[in-house]
Amino acid sequence: MQQVVFATFNRGKVREVGNLLAGLELEVLSPADFGISTLPLETGDTFLENAVIKASAVWQQLRIPVMADDSGLLVHALDGAPGVSSARYAGPDANDKANNLKLLEALSGETNRSAAFFCQAVCILNNTWPVASLEGLDPNLQVRTGYLGKDCHLLVASGSVSGVIAQAPAGEGGFGYDPIFYLESHKQTFAQIDQAEKNRLSHRGQAFRTLKKAFEAMMQV
């Protein structure tokens, strides 16, 4: 079975990605399983840069397939904020409640409350993987050969889901901005939606299902 590292120390996220990739001969592991205890700070200006920062740090040490992602909330009336700063919107040590409160305050009196969750997931592979088989596979998948050097390929998968920012939090599930991210199609916030349905709709679910398609194609060659 092929080992794949997901560049996070959050075991819940590692399990989630493992579930999203279920059915493949892949074992999804954490950097901690290889004795890695730190990851670099996310100092990029884009979701892609932040995902690559994490993945490349692990790749340089292990040279086996490494995945990472970065995601955030883009609010149109705020010119895309909080964006890459979503986790730190109310300050470097802010919790979800503080971030939600700051966002609701920023939108006070605003009629345009449209927003989108966006995710970019990456996977670094050595150059023996048959990435030529991925041409035309999925419009949300990019293959960047040579982006990080001659000895590896970078796969980039994107996912997004549109909604509006609610007037007040609702729901006990989820995390982050889920209690105030309202889906008009479901008449519920992400925190109120069943977890299986959320996984089907979510930006992260979309991105990692695209990476799953890529692995399925390459492992059949």
Residues with active-site annotation: 70
**What does DSSP say about strands 2-6 and 66-75: parallel, antiparallel, or unpaired?**
parallel
Q: Where are the alpha helices (DSSP H) in the chain?
A: 11-20, 47-62, 96-106, 195-201, 203-219
Quote the Cα angle for 178-18-27, to 5°.
160
- Packing angle, helices 203-219 and 11-20, rounded to 10: 60
Q: Please, what's the b/e burial string for 166-205 (b: 16 or more CB within 10 A of its CB; e: otherwise)?
A: beebebeebebbbbbbbbeeeebbbbbbeeeebbebbbbb
- Which helix (H) or strand (E) segment is 179 a member of? none
- Strand partners of residue 162: 116
Q: Are 159 and 140 in contact (CB under 8 A)?
A: yes
Length of the chain in residues, anyone? 221
